[in-house]
Amino acid sequence: MSHLHSTSQDDYLIHHDSSFFTFTPQLHDHHHLPITFHHCIATIESHNSYISSMAIAGNFLYTGSSDKEIQLWNRNGLLDTRNIDQQYLPDNMITAGNGAVKSMVISADHNKLFTAHQDHKIRVWNNNNNNNNKLTHLATLPTLGDRTLKLLIPKNHVQVRRHKKSTWVHHLDTVSSLASSIDGSLLYSVSWDRTLKIWRTSDFKCLQSVPNAHDDAINSLALSINGDVYTGSADKTIKIWRKTSNQGAEVNHTLIAILEKHKSGVNALALSIDDSVLYSGSSDRSIIIWEKKNDGNRVAVGVLRGHTKSILCLSVVSDLVCSGSADESIRIWRGVERFYVCLAVMEGHRGPVKCLTMAKDHDDCNTSSYIVYSGGLDRGIKVWRISINSS
């Protein structure tokens, strides 16, 4: 059944704090708020353990679980509501590595799928869906060739423990997040080992590793249109890195700013479509809004509150922000000129919402429709439809 979400004054969940704001917020007439309908159109319980990551590429949804499974789903099949008793089956399933599949990213040309794993590795898959929807393993990073070349040169060795060394191309703990450059030439990875690494996608060579990029585990990663890299960490900070050189095999990124406002670890990052706003979700139950000023610096201008437990994931499509939380709910937010309203609160998961992704469904003259896919610790994948009537 569809649920009508009526917006009340309690849904004006932008927190006004003199340390964040330099403007006077204006009250808006409730009658001008859009009417929002939302309902769950499918629930899938296919994985044998919790859903840890997901990504969309064209007509396909990819999901990763904590028991090393990667599943491929035809989105059209998930949106078919004609048979309410339908049993959903993945179009393809593979297992890889050990432990959870922590993050997924699709290459710019949609031909490759990159997956980050708890076993400290990154795997690359041929994503040619013309081949019976099969994923073919292409490489595991770091590659054998890259490891061997680095192993032969002593300066490439770094101390990892008192009596152990490793080459700098290796992640030494869970790879927690991935991002791809706009042109698809570079892949970025962050890890609980506190490093940021940059890989060339043409030959999967590791070009740079930033050691001790944070003081604690790095949980999240976002990449802007201009190439700036944002990393969020359990040390409560967000750091911004900029590429300072790109000559041949040499790529260098340096730290240009540190954003500090959260009171607990940063778990999720997302950028608006035009890069003007960065959203950060934290274990302190808040989503901070960081605006880009004319000088290029990011400034905190507000915070969204409403979730009662940690923010675990974020997604942005059009002018909507979608947040998933350990409180088992999903919230849809819309912001216009610094004024944010919670359009919908979606409940149905029986555990923390670990990952989500969002896509535009369709538009007509008065209504915009979106599809949200969410995965949780309850082992379920849910598909939601959001309809926003602007008339």
Q: Are 133 and 91 in contact (CB under 8 A)?
A: yes
**Residue 250, beta-bridge partner list:** 247
- What letter would DSSP give residue 110? S
Number of other CB atoms surrounding residue 102 within 10 Å: 23
Tell me the pLDDT tens digit for each residue of 296-310.
899 999 999 999 999
Closest to 251 in 3D by CA, of 264, 242, 259: 242
Asked whether residue 15 carries a pLDDT value surpassing 60, the answer given is no
In the chain the domains, ranked by start, together with CATH numbers, are 46-316+374-381 (2.130.10.10)
- What letter would DSSP give residue 22? S
Alpha helices in 136-287, H assignment, sequence order: 144-151
Q: Are 333 and 354 in contact (CB under 8 A)?
A: no
Q: What is the pLDDT of residue 298?
A: 95
Three-state DSSP at 11 gives: helix
Higher pLDDT, 237 or 161: 237
Q: What is the pLDDT of residue 129?
A: 60
- Can you read off the two tokens belonging to residue 275? 């890069």
Alpha helices in 144-196, H assignment, sequence order: 144-151
pTM of the model as a whole: 0.88
**Would you list the DSSP string of 114-156?**
EEEETTS-EEEEE--TTTTT--EEEEEESPHHHHHHHHTSGGG
